[in-house]
Amino acid sequence: MNFVRDMIFLGLYLIGMSGIIYWRKRQKDPSLFFYSSTWTFTLLLMYFVVLEIFYSTYYFLIPLLFFSIFAFSYFTEKRRLINGLLFNVFLISFGIYLITLLFETQNVFLGGLFALIAIPLLLVFLFGIYALIVFLFWNGITVLKRESHSLANLLTLLLGLFLTLFLIVDFFLLKYLPEWINVFLSAIPFILFYLFIVFYNFLTVSFLYQFNRPRYNQDYIVVLGAGLIDGEKVSPLLAKRINKAIAFYRAQSRATLNPPILLMSGGQGPDEKIPEAIAMKQYALEQGIPERDILVETNSTTTLENMRFSKEIMDQRQKGPYRAIFSSNNYHIFRAGLYARQAKLKANGIGAKTAFYYLPNAFLREYIAVLVMNKKRHMIICGLIVAAAACLSLITLIF
């Protein structure tokens, strides 16, 4: 009976996956990962529900509750950092649920699924920091070879150096220091652990935000500016943002015969000959976009100003409500969404693909920027950790 049930679900999964692959490969935007992940999650949930009904247990209600809380928060407002935390709480509850169900049912499939999840986690626990350091050095050197030698492009290399020094000090120096100093210095790994949790939540919500799929009923697409080559030419990175907006423009035009307005947003930097928005408009015209469907905003110098000034233009043109999205690179859209929320602009982002080697450094830069946005909260928590370590150090010194 168990074998027949498992084979039925396996057959359904393979048939469904084959249908999704066939269907999506015929589309201009396949989004295979999104649709295949959704199908996998749906069928897994169905399998667990059937399994628990068979064994008269209902543990699935616990992770389902946490997922419902996450889903409510996410679909109410995608541009919130807490969504990453809520999703990770759901994942933890789901992991505990799998372990509990495995012990209850002794199901072979569950055992294989648990091993598939547990083995990588064990490897990360045993060798994670060493593998991370090697990866950071590799990535930092790769970025330096292919990009400019700016501080923003040195972040992964600097993090790799910091973690290496931290391990060296931990292994060879701390054991020679007095115990009370070691107790005080224990604040450092706790702070690093806290910052890692914050980074993991940020990475989670940034990953989830990539699945944003706006409907083809938009009135505007705000295209966020970036630096120009020689002060007047669109860079490859900026071109990807514009191309993403143009792809959506054309898809909506085909679907509804009512294309959105492209609002190019970007001012003129001190080293630029023309405003970024003007160069972006010229690029879009060269791609065949009619001039009547392009607006420019030429005063902004930051992402927050991109959102504020673009909103002012759209508010002036549309007396009633309107629908808008914005386009940027995939690593940047979540933080841009936070700024849109600050500017009271109801818009979510679509992200252009970025070269893989550039993503770690880019996400690290985004993370630091988001930390600074919420610096008071993080300074208070880190301060409490230092204060607790200082108190324990003082107690150790006295007693």
Could you read off the pLDDT of 13-30 as tens digits, one per residue? 889 889 988 888 877 667
pLDDT reported for residue 320? 85
CA 60, CA 49: separation in Å to the nearest integer?
7
Q: Which of 280, 268, 344 lies closest to 311 in space, CA to CA?
A: 344
C-beta separation of 200 from 360 below 8 A: no
Residues 6+ apart with CB under 8 A from 221: 245, 248, 249, 260, 261, 262, 263, 324, 325, 326, 327
Tokens 């990866």 found at: 135
Strand bridging mode 324-329 / 228-229: unpaired
Condensed to tens digits (0 to 9), the pLDDT of residues 70-96 reads 999 999 999 999 999 999 999 999 888
Per-residue pLDDT of the chain (399 residues; tens, 9 = 90+): 577 877 888 888 889 889 988 888 877 667 787 788 888 888 888 888 888 888 777 888 888 899 999 999 999 999 999 999 999 999 999 888 888 888 877 777 777 777 777 777 777 777 778 888 888 899 989 988 887 777 888 899 999 999 999 888 888 887 788 888 888 988 999 999 999 999 999 999 999 999 888 999 999 999 999 888 888 888 888 999 999 999 999 999 998 989 999 999 999 888 888 999 999 999 999 999 999 999 999 999 999 999 999 999 999 998 889 999 999 999 999 999 999 999 999 999 999 988 888 999 999 999 999 999 999 999 999 999 999 999 999 988 887
C-beta separation of 262 from 292 below 8 A: no
pLDDT reported for residue 313? 95
If DSSP codes are grouped into helix, strand and coil, which group holds residue 178? coil
Tokens 């150790």 found at: 396
pLDDT reported for residue 265? 95
Tokens 């001012």 found at: 267
Residues 6+ apart with CB under 8 A from 358: 143, 146, 147
pLDDT reported for residue 169? 84
Calculate ∠ Cα 45-48-53, nearest 5°. 125
Q: Which of 397, 359, 366, 379 lies closest to 143 in space, CA to CA?
A: 359
Query: What is the Cα 68 distance to its own chain's centre?
Result: 20
CA 197, CA 186: separation in Å to the nearest integer?
17
Cβ-count burial of 75 within 10 angstroms (0-12 exposed, 13-18 middle, 19+ buried)? exposed
CA 234, CA 281: separation in Å to the nearest integer?
10
CA 241, CA 235: separation in Å to the nearest integer?
10
* The token pair that represents 221 in the structure block: 């697409």
CA 370, CA 82: separation in Å to the nearest integer?
13
pLDDT reported for residue 49? 81
